[in-house]
Amino acid sequence: MKQCTIKSPCVFKGKGIHSGKAVEMTVLPVPENHGIVFQRIDLPGLPCVKAEISNVYKVKRSTSLRYGKAKVRTTEHLLAALFCLGIDNALIQLDSEELPIMDGSSAKFVEEFLNVGIMEQNAEREYAAVCEKIVCEDPKSGSRIEIEPADEESFDVTIDFNSRVVGIQRANLDKNINFAEEIAPCRTFCFFKDVKPLLALGLIKGGDLENALVIDEPKGYLNDTPLRFENECARHKLLDLAGDFCLAGKHLKCKVTAYKPGHKINTEAVMALVKKLNDE
């Protein structure tokens, strides 16, 4: 299969969910073998940060990247859109540190990319394929991710927050599931009890009921809008997982099974995958 890029630039305006700062982001088509690269056009020298696992520097409630003094925060929703639509090459220009949260999902990114069109390029796409199972576990949280050999890319996610409202949810993504319609619209979420602690850490300053589901245990969701899917929370965790796996720098020929995933264990699993590929 060939590499792909978008046919025309796409512009997004919004605010960062953690910083609360206004940001304009432009996603540009680029030549083959360029990869996915962020560029801080607000900084001297217009520094770039490549979307790869070695540039991960922070995974608290989002996945943030850094190269030199240049940082980009909350990359996962955009990377999920690029990865799952098969867009291998893009330059992402930002005039602030954090990507726009939009409605808390990948829906707007997907909509715009499909609207301008995706263009096949001449170079062949690279794939990551493993010969044996890779397992990453966090005994403290109970999180676990398995990466198994497979002919095609797939993700299977189960979440359990010990919540009466959310319950135990499962979601999956493979070639038979339409990412744009069934996964991309699913919004980020948090529990109301966590709002004050997160604000105290300098996070979610741009969060509101328009860009996140807020769960008030055991009453229910505080949002006026209905859930987009009964298992929207699990689908969003799958979206996050796919965005983090984009940092492997290749598409996958393996099955990823995740129990209680989060950005910390997601990125640890990607690191283990990349290390395994480099050792083989």
Catalytic machinery residues? 263
Q: Rounded to the nearest 5°, which phi and psi values hold at 110?
A: -60, -45
- C-alpha span between 132 and 276 (Å, rounded): 10
- Name the nearest CA neighbour of 250 among 98, 124, 160: 124
Task: Check residue 98 and report its DSSP letter.
Answer: B
Element (H, E) at 244: helix 232-245
Of 17, 91, 83, residue with least CA distance to 49: 91
**DSSP readout, 162-220?**
S-TTT-EEEEEE-TTS-HHHHTTTPPPEEEGGGHHHHHHTT--TT--TTT-EEEETTTE
